[in-house]
Amino acid sequence: MASHRPGCDMAGLTFWEQAGMNCTCTHVPAVFPGNGVQTTNGAVPAFPTYVPGNGEHSLSPLPGLFYDVAGMLDGGLPDPPAPVVGTRTDGHALFYAGQVNLVFGDPESGKTFLCLAACAEALSRGRRVLVIDLDHNGPSATIDRLLMLGAQESALADSSRFLYVEPEDAPHLMAVITAAIAWGPALALIDSVGELLPVFGFSSNSPDDFTLVNSRVLKPLAVAGAAVLGIDHLAKGTESRTSGPTGTAAKKRAVGGVSVRITLKDAFTPGRGGAAAITIHKDRHGGLRQHCPPPDGGEAYAGTFLLKAEDDGTTMWCITAPELGDRAPAGVAEADIDALDLLDPPPASVRDVKARLNWRTDRASAVLREWRTRVPHTELGERGTLDLSVPQEAVCPACSRLQERYDPSWVCAEHREAS
């Protein structure tokens, strides 16, 4: 039982009682500077030599409760963490060990290929890899992709190096996490983060629910030393897509490593391959960003994931380092492209799109820019093309369903100003 000196009336007594310690503070007078009370003659009594909370208390902090800052400083400040998983062609990597990392993008954009390539890389270096398949891709499809990406059969068949699981429910998943922490993976792939909350019966849009699931599943794996790779989907709305993956914004706060956006460049086709751009949505420690060109008004370009099928049937992959001036594709929603296709007459400018579809400027600009790159440029007079049968001096292209992008000087003053 804790005991206190006679007359001790400090507010901190509850702490000492809970800690099971004896009070060693001196008696504090009823009036002292700072409590808003003066003596009857207006004099302020002297502040006592020390009281709990003024930084001079004789007790040391309870052992084990607080970080040992002195010990850290004695050894010198550690270097900031650097990514070690998913190595680019220049030797720098994408993902951090001991942190939660997030990979998000549209369906079939290459995000799963990129993460499984990182798994194959880790296995080739003798590291342990855990795959938690919440999307139920199936063991056959997952193993087949890992083999295609260069993982060795001997490594995949060795339960001391590779583990795969499709959790059936929340208790099964929690048992997997407990066993995995004891097993000690170097890389833990969660495919996908969007299925974590439904497994527990939680709301995908609740920040509190996600924070709770993160503390149960993702964070324990990271604290155990694993590079946690979470795959997630991109929101469908153009405005919300800039914010990142679907669901609650708490996902971004949970990322202690890097969050990267995957945007399709060339469709991934069996027997041919494909390509996807990688841009940085968040890099808490800056270890990846410092090896990327400065962004030009958007997300920093972190590299390109390339998958190529060779003539002999093998598949090669790499993550190329970015070059100055690299920019990711627009990555706009296909539904928005379709909406512009249906406009008659075709859209003439960003202002035109905003007025007719009631979109914000950033959405209208991004979609119109991407739509224009897809419009065929022939001599057949198709939508969005030059019709050479029309005398050029006789009509404004914007008014005759022609795009000013092919000859801006040919647009009438009204449409030139609007664009």
Has residue 46 got a pLDDT over 70? Answer: no
- State the pairing for strand pair 300-309/258-269: unpaired
Claim to verify: residue 60 and residue 160 sit in the same structural domain: no
Residues 359, 360, 365: CA angle, nearest 5 degrees: 90
pLDDT reported for residue 363: 79
Say which residue, 323 or 10, is predicted with more confidence: 323
Say which residue, 273 or 416, is predicted with more confidence: 273
Share of the chain above pLDDT 90, in %: 50
Render pLDDT for 152-175 as a digit per residue (tens, 0 to 9).
999 999 999 999 999 999 999 999
What integer is the mean pLDDT of 120-129? 97
| Residue in the structure block whose two tokens are 């499984």 | 116
The greatest distance separating any two alpha carbons of the chain, rounded to the nearest whole angstrom, comes to 104
Claim to verify: residue 344 and residue 306 sit in the same structural domain: no
User: Residue 159: inside a domain, yes or no?
Assistant: yes
Claim to verify: residue 127 and residue 249 sit in the same structural domain: yes
Least confident of 52-61, 226-235, 341-350: 52-61
* Domain stop point among 274, 297, 320: 320
User: Residue 167: inside a domain, yes or no?
Assistant: yes
Claim to verify: residue 148 and residue 256 sit in the same structural domain: yes
User: Residue 295: inside a domain, yes or no?
Assistant: yes
| Residue 28 burial by Cβ neighbours in a 10 Å radius (0-12, 13-18, 19+) | middle
Number of folded domains that form the chain: 3
What integer is the mean pLDDT of 249-263? 92
Q: Which of 396, 402, 400, 401 is nearest to 417 (CA)?
A: 396
Has residue 231 got a pLDDT over 90? Answer: yes
Strands, sheet with 162-165, edge to edge from the N-terminal-most edge strand: 162-165, 129-133, 187-191, 227-233, 100-105, 258-269, 273-283, 300-309, 315-320
Claim to verify: residue 279 and residue 301 sit in the same structural domain: yes
Claim to verify: residue 139 and residue 189 sit in the same structural domain: yes
What integer is the mean pLDDT of 243-266? 85
Claim to verify: residue 159 and residue 27 sit in the same structural domain: no
User: Residue 239: inside a domain, yes or no?
Assistant: yes
Has residue 416 got a pLDDT over 50? Answer: no
**CATH number of the domain bearing residue 310:** 3.40.50.300
Claim to verify: residue 232 and residue 137 sit in the same structural domain: yes
* Domain stop point among 296, 320, 344: 320
Claim to verify: residue 206 and residue 282 sit in the same structural domain: yes
Least confident of 38-52, 59-73, 238-252: 38-52
Entry pTM: 0.69
* Domain stop point among 289, 320, 351: 320
User: Residue 247: inside a domain, yes or no?
Assistant: yes
User: Residue 127: inside a domain, yes or no?
Assistant: yes
Alpha-carbon distance values, 283 to 211, 253, 313 (Å):
19, 11, 37
User: Residue 325: inside a domain, yes or no?
Assistant: no
Has residue 78 got a pLDDT over 60? Answer: yes
pLDDT reported for residue 395: 45
What integer is the mean pLDDT of 206-210? 92
Domain residues for the domain of 114 are 85-320
Claim to verify: residue 93 and residue 209 sit in the same structural domain: yes
Claim to verify: residue 203 and residue 159 sit in the same structural domain: yes
At residue 80, φ and ψ (nearest 5 deg) are -60, 150
Q: Is residue 197 within 8 Å of 55, Cβ to Cβ?
A: no
User: Residue 193: inside a domain, yes or no?
Assistant: yes
pLDDT reported for residue 185: 97
Claim to verify: residue 152 and residue 298 sit in the same structural domain: yes
At residue 178, φ and ψ (nearest 5 deg) are -60, -45
Render pLDDT for 364-403 as a digit per residue (tens, 0 to 9).
887 887 788 776 533 323 333 333 343 444 445 444 433 3
